Structure 1
Amino acid sequence: MDILYLDQTLVAVHKPAGLLVHHSRIDRHARHAAVQLVRDQIGQRVYPVHRLDKPTSGVLLFALDPGTARALVEQFSAGHVRKQYLAIVRGYTQETGSIDTALTERLDPIADAQADRDKAPQTASTQYRCLARVELPHPVGRYRTARYSLLELRPRTGRQHQLRRHLKHIFHPIIGDTTHGDGRHNRFFREHFDNQRLLLAATALQCLHPTSGEPLRITAPPAAEFQRILAALGWSDRIAPHPEVGHGP
């Protein structure tokens, strides 16, 4: 994997779509996981401090020791870490918006057998900004044309599948989402663009370096297969990093 940042306490990589962060009983047949691949690549143990869904690509941060891991987990839990994503969704969205819809934790019958099944919905907040729109002369479903939006997403909380569920909630599901998406539009992208993935990418992460206390900003462009879809839709020039987020520590 591409290493985006590395020092004595942290490593950040560009996780490809389709790779688990760590092995799970939910996907017992997966042969590889990011934890093991990064460990083998840099030759030392790594500690996950956050997650990306298996089908999501992009910036993934690990600590290199337990103390650093605890400090980073505290930042994530306190909402002090800024994350930025890029997504292609169905339909024309508003220019900007905020989705503030509580989400119920979805439990796996095996992995979460001992979890509280009566847990109240958790607050969840996502801000978005529309970067581009396109209308294609192809009928999908009952419409004669197909409309899509390119969004910059900024989750303010980190709930399970939050972005995918929030975009479904406002009737703009992410393309390629086989769980929360629209099968007709997913099929259209497979047939016309040979798209085989969820079109959601974690493009930036910003936190305080747990050792120096200085701001740490890490960015990654969308993966090559994502960029190919952007180019096909005429959006290659719409993915410059937001001015608040840049490279380096």
Structure 2
Amino acid sequence: MTNASSGSSLFEHLLELRTRLLAMVVSVLLVFLCLAYFAQDIYQYLAEPLLAVMPEGSNMIATDVASPFFAPFKLTMVVSVFVAMPYILYQIWSFIAPGLYANEKRLVAPLLLGSSLLFYGGVSFAYFVVFPLAFSFFSSVAPEGVIIATDISSYLDFVLKLFFAFGAAFEIPIAIILMCWTGFSSVASLRAKRPYVIVGVFVVGMLLTPPDIISQTLLALPMWLLFELGLVFASFYRPRDEQDDTAQIGE
């Protein structure tokens, strides 16, 4: 009887998971259908940081026959995922929330919201701050006689990688909170490693940005500040083992 009940419960969870995954996919597709008409405009907006610094008379090119069609729609699909992310996170939360304790719910809900806002912040920082500086640098170091004519598909792949890199880098506070909450590390231990962290963020800044001190610093400093912010928020959370012990004492 127990095995039958367990099997039925597993089937119900799988059915709910399928339903929520389907809802996520449908939400992305609905947003995509609404934005598809503006695919060319969206790509034009994405290309503005590069077009603004390209030499007069130069343009972006398409080396593949189908890329003028597929590149804007590929970008629109990515934008659709970004736009639908709050609903996707809501579906994830609705699926995992019933299996969490009250104290875990109080932690996970802000983390889901905070992680999405930080990711959007990283993407915005890359577009409005890093791209103008990076593309200006790349254009200024082109050898004499070289005509700058960037392929639209290559440009899209390049900026999407940077978007995800900066979005992931801005998740540092979330990572620190989880490390402290799970007991993997502690606030005191991370504070003691601050000098190594500062060196590390500048190394990451050097790897993710053009080889000039301005853009490297523009990434490294926010990452350092986010590390400090993560320590501040992590200090408000007790490790999970301590919370479990407190819960058991209360019982």
Name the TM-score class by shorter chain.
under 0.3
TM-score (norm 2): 0.19
User: Looking at CA atoms only, which structure, 1 or 2, has the larger radius of gyration?
Assistant: 2
TM-score (norm 1): 0.19
